[in-house]
Amino acid sequence: MEISKEKFRHVGINEEESQAIVRPSITYWQDAWRRLKKNKTAMIGLVVIIIMTIMAIIGPMMVPYVHSDTDLSNTEQPPSREHWFGTDDLGRDLWARVWVGARVSLFIGLMAALLDTLIGVVIGGISGFYGGKLDMILMRFIDVMIAIPGMIFIILIMVIVGSGVVPIIISFAITGWLGMARLVRGQILQLKEQEFVLAARTLGASSSRLIFRHLIPNTLGVIIVSLTMRIPSAIFTEAFLSFIGLGVKPPMSSWGQLASSGAAVLRVYPYRLFIPAFFISITMLSLNLFGDGLRDALDPRLRK
Amino acid sequence: MEAKKLIEVKDLKKYFHVGGGGVLKAVDDLNFFIREGETLGLVGESGCGKSTAGRTIIRLYDATGGEVLFDGMNVHKLDKNKAKEFTKKAQMIFQDPYASLDPRMTVGDIIGEGIDIHNLYKGKERMERIYELLATVGLNREHANRFPHEFSGGQRQRIGIARALAVEPQFIVCDEPISALDVSIQAQVVNLLIKLQHEKKLTYLFIAHDLSMVKHISDRVGVMYLGTLVELASSTELYKRPIHPYTQALMSAIPIADPDVERSRKRILLEGDVPSPINPPPGCRFKARCRYATDICSKEMPEFREIGKDHFVACHNV
């Protein structure tokens, strides 16, 4: 076939059209959500977490028993139509106790994680943003704190302040912010030398504008992932403390404390350990899977 | 009449402390001025302190010594209000179009940031102004709601230019604005910069390492070597009659777009590498690689003196 000049036609170029972007505009969070939805395990984790949360709210209302009411004529019942998870040695309904325990465990996990994230972000942010001597002092302090096992701190605080939900949350927050502070400091240090931050400074942006408009939004992904990973570890630490008798005290209930009393009668009534242990495991697993998926979804280096 | 000097840089120094007590002299005794409405090109190889000089002039870094006068006032000695005013008059365009736009902000907010900081416009007027700026740099108004990652390198660089223009500055430091771009896009961005200069009477400090591009855009060109200027002249003069041995070597490296001439082009090859700017020895910075070096070169720093009209050079042997 011959290619001649006449077969070509000059169509020109439309400036306006050549600059147009056809792809629909999506924000960073929409994009992350789109990627998260594709991750099946993370979505299963999310669904389980949502179910757990809903059950923690409505679970105790589904039965006509109160978690702390004893019924001495109905002690040590196996699971039945009246008592779905059975009763304990004082005749308290275990279904009610498991879901009230879920409230306590989830609440402690969430609050402890939020509180230590807040402390960590503030201290890490200050350290990274202002740098210099202040940064030196704060980081050496964190180095010293990290060298001491956190559990010793927690047990010490619980022994001095006493047990209960609030002391648990406070002691977790005091020991848990160190890693978050380091993480945020590293991010801020890296970000503040980026050209878009320099550009904002050239435009005369104040420190608070730099921090809240540029630095924090760009660190948020990392902070959220770290937060989701903190929740299961706080839940587990609470369960551990209650198991060794330092955490939540009866008649109040928590998963760790239910497992503790269940372990005592493991040979006779194994379900009394297995039920709370199952919920602890599945919640931690779901949170970890969800956190993993979230990390993949928010990490721009994995952007396709 | 000669235009007034908008920027005067006098003995500007910027040192960084490095580990082990060393001092990195990134910028050392820099002297030049920029007249209103002109473009001063600043060239030099990587690590010679071009970008540091630009950032110190725009106050992103504090100067270790010397002064930068903008319209007669020392920019490093401003009080808070004056400093904010200065950020409205002097702006910067950055090198990396991928790192210089905040990925979490829409293009409209990026461009509008200067407007917000200086409270120039509000509400509907603000949006109108952003659309106008987008149009100025050749983008559509629909782009205001999009995010930086949706744009190409050249488009992003134009967004960066629009951001700098938002506060209606008189002076813009262009820190290698084209070195990260594709060659075909380079011309587009440079021509936009030239067009804007004519329309808005802008003054540029144009930092680059592409010699032919610098010649194209600059009225005068300064050559930097290890933190200091070795030669400064009008661009035609400098490219036709380079005097400093380093400038001569640089000029001989420009390819010529004529195969016959190109074939006979003789390159001056420099021996060795750029010495480290950490604790440099006294004397001329270039002596270790200079063909004409004599005794005096290792003892005294050559003075930066005017040898012809507007032609400055720092060399003992001229």
CB-closest option in A16, A195, A202 to B140: A16
pLDDT of A304 reads 42
Q: Does B212 touch chain A (CB under 8 A)?
A: no
Name the residue of chain A whose CA is nearest to B169's CA: A203
Structure tokens, B108: 């409209």
Contact list in B for residue A216 (CB cut-off 8 A) is none
pLDDT in tens, A73-118: 777 777 777 777 777 777 788 888 888 888 888 898 899 899 989 9
Contact list in A for residue B114 (CB cut-off 8 A) is 203-204
pLDDT of A15 reads 65
**Chain A contacts in chain B segment 149-208 (CB below 8 A):** 150-151, 155, 160, 163, 167
Cross-chain Cβ contact B87/A204 below 8 Å: yes
CB-closest option in B58, B94, B167 to A195: B94
pLDDT in tens, B280-296: 777 888 888 888 878 88
Cross-chain Cβ contact B147/A19 below 8 Å: no
- Work out the end-to-end distance of chain A between its first and last CA atoms, rounded to an integer number of angstroms: 41
For chain B, how many structural domains are there in total?
A: 1
Q: How confident is the model at residue A170 (pLDDT cuts 50, 70, 90)?
A: confident
A144-A146-A147-A153 Cα dihedral, nearest 10 degrees = 100
| Structural domain of B102 | 5-313
> In angstroms, what separates the C-alpha of B104 from chain A's closest C-alpha?
7
Asked if pLDDT for residue A17 goes beyond 70, the answer is no
DSSP B138: T
Name the residue of chain A whose CA is nearest to B85's CA: A204
Q: Does A16 touch chain B (CB under 8 A)?
A: yes
Q: How confident is the model at residue A18 (pLDDT cuts 50, 70, 90)?
A: low
Structure tokens, A262: 């269940």
- Residue B126 counted as domain residue: yes
Calculate ∠ Cα A114-A120-A123, nearest 5°.
Answer: 140
Element (H, E) at B231: strand B228-234
Contact list in B for residue A15 (CB cut-off 8 A) is 138
Mean pLDDT of B99-117: 89
Asked if pLDDT for residue B1 goes beyond 70, the answer is no
Name the residue of chain A whose CA is nearest to B82's CA: A204
Q: Does B318 touch chain A (CB under 8 A)?
A: no
Chain pair A-B, CB pairs under 8 angstroms: 82
B268-B272-B273-B274 Cα dihedral, nearest 10 degrees = -70
Map B19-53 to HEC letters: HHHEEEEEEEEEEEEEECCCEEEEECCCCCCHHHH
Q: How far is CA B172 from the centre of its chain?
A: 9
Asked if pLDDT for residue A235 goes beyond 90, the answer is no
CB-closest option in A19, A204, A205 to B140: A19
Largest CA distance in chain B: 68
pLDDT of B204 reads 92
Name the residue of chain A whose CA is nearest to B88's CA: A203
Testing the interface with A: which of B102, B131, B172 to mutate, by most A Cβ within 10 A?
A: B102
pLDDT in tens, A239-263: 888 888 777 777 778 888 888 888 8
Domain boundaries, chain A: 42-302
Mean pLDDT of chain A: 83
Structure tokens, A196: 């878009």
* Cα–Cα distance measured from residue A75 to residue A124, given in angstroms and rounded to the nearest whole number: 52
Name the residue of chain B whose CA is nearest to A300's CA: B103
Contact criterion met (CB below 8 Å) for A120 and A180:
yes
Asked if pLDDT for residue A16 goes beyond 70, the answer is no
> In angstroms, what separates the C-alpha of A133 from chain B's closest C-alpha?
15
Percent of chain A with pLDDT over 70: 95
pLDDT of A91 reads 72
CB-closest option in B91, B94, B104 to A218: B104
Asked if pLDDT for residue B5 goes beyond 90, the answer is no
Q: Does B278 touch chain A (CB under 8 A)?
A: no
Cross-chain Cβ contact A28/B104 below 8 Å: yes
Q: Name the β-bridge partners of B308.
A: B311
For chain A, the residue count is: 304
Q: Name the β-bridge partners of B68.
A: B9
**Chain A contacts in chain B segment 89-108 (CB below 8 A):** 90-92, 94-96, 99-105
* Cα–Cα distance measured from residue A39 to residue A296, given in angstroms and rounded to the nearest whole number: 9
CATH number for the domain that contains residue B227: 3.40.50.300
Provide the residue type at B123 as one letter.
G
* Cα–Cα distance measured from residue B140 to residue B189, given in angstroms and rounded to the nearest whole number: 16
Name the residue of chain A whose CA is nearest to B94's CA: A195
pLDDT of B2 reads 67
* Cα–Cα distance measured from residue B40 to residue B7, given in angstroms and rounded to the nearest whole number: 10
Calculate ∠ Cα A242-A248-A251, nearest 5°.
Answer: 120
Whether residue A251 is preceded by a cis peptide bond, meaning omega within 30 degrees of 0, is yes
Name the residue of chain B whose CA is nearest to A15's CA: B138
Structure tokens, A187: 């991010």
Domain A42-302 listed as CATH 3.30.70.980:
no
Cross-chain Cβ contact A20/B142 below 8 Å: yes
Maximum mean pLDDT: which of B137-141, B157-161, B212-216: B157-161
CA distances from A290 to A50, A221, B250 (A): 11, 14, 57
Cross-chain Cβ contact A25/B151 below 8 Å: no
Contact criterion met (CB below 8 Å) for B170 and B6:
yes
Q: Which of B217, B134, B107, B139 has the alpha carbon at shortest distance from B172?
A: B217
pLDDT in tens, B187-222: 888 888 999 999 988 999 999 888 888 888 899 999
DSSP B181: S
> In angstroms, what separates the C-alpha of A84 from chain B's closest C-alpha?
50
Provide the residue type at A274 as one letter.
F
Provide the residue type at A234 as one letter.
A
Contact list in B for residue A19 (CB cut-off 8 A) is 138-140, 143, 155
- Residue B42 counted as domain residue: yes
Name the residue of chain B whose CA is nearest to A27's CA: B147
pLDDT in tens, B249-283: 888 888 887 888 778 777 777 777 777 778 777 78
Q: How confident is the model at residue A47 (pLDDT cuts 50, 70, 90)?
A: very high
**Beta-carbon contacts of residue B98 (< 8 Å; ≥ 6 apart):** B153, B156, B180
Testing the interface with B: which of A196, A201, A301, A303 to mutate, by most B Cβ within 10 A?
A: A196
CA distances from A13 to A10, A17, A18, B99, B135 (A): 9, 8, 7, 30, 18
Contact list in A for residue B150 (CB cut-off 8 A) is 21, 23, 25
CA distances from B156 to B95, B133, B143, B178 (A): 11, 14, 11, 11
Q: Does B52 touch chain A (CB under 8 A)?
A: no
Asked if pLDDT for residue A300 goes beyond 60, the answer is no
Element (H, E) at A269: none
- Residue B318 counted as domain residue: no
Map B147-180 to HEC letters: CHHHCCHHHHHHHHHHHHHCCCCCEEEEECCCCC
